[in-house]
Amino acid sequence: DGGITQSPKYLFRKEGQNVTLSCEQNLNHDAMYWYRQDPGQGLRLIYYSQIVNDFQKGDIAEGYSVSREKKESFPLTVTSAQKNPTAFYLCASSKEPGLPSTDTQYFGPGTRLTVL
């Protein structure tokens, strides 16, 4: 988990509210990623960013939004359009995406979001 911080650790949201999950890294990594983890389903990619001010949709982007204004920060907003947002959210980063020696992804400790 070292070098990547996520906050808060636990987050509770009422239906209809938008919430923003924080992800910060001090590893000087170029790429950052957001995954969603549900029991028995492994990790699914929501959004990723290979460079500042650019990001791409992953496999399950609907109902989520991101920004990448700074290299070290990649916040994720879970909007009210996300039908089933209760899950464990994991942020990751890698040094240089696409280069085999440096594209290992390292993960933060996660945020558990619960919709009440």
Partner 1 sequence: AQSVAQPEDQVNVAEGNPLTVKCTYSVSGNPYLFWYVQYPNRGLQFLLKYITGDNLVKGSYGFEAEFNKSQTSFHLKKPSALVSDSALYFCAVRDGYNQGGKLIFGQGTELSVKP
Q: Contacts with partner 1: how many residues (CB under 8 A)? A: 28
Give yes or no for residue 16 binding partner 1 (CB under 8 A): no
Residue placing its CB nearer to partner 1 in the complex, 18 or 102 = 102
Cα–Cα distances (Å) from 85 to 28, 69, 79, 89, in that order, read 30, 24, 9, 10
Residue placing its CB nearer to partner 1 in the complex, 46 or 115 = 46
CB of 1 to partner 1, least distance (A): 5
The residue from 55, 108, 113, 115 that contacts partner 1 (CB under 8 A) is: 108
Closest C-alpha to 79, from 90, 93, 65:
65
| Residues 82-101 within binding reach of partner 1 (CB under 8 A) | 88, 90, 92, 97-98, 100-101
Cα–Cα distances (Å) from 104 to 30, 63, 64, 66, 99, in that order, read 12, 27, 24, 22, 9
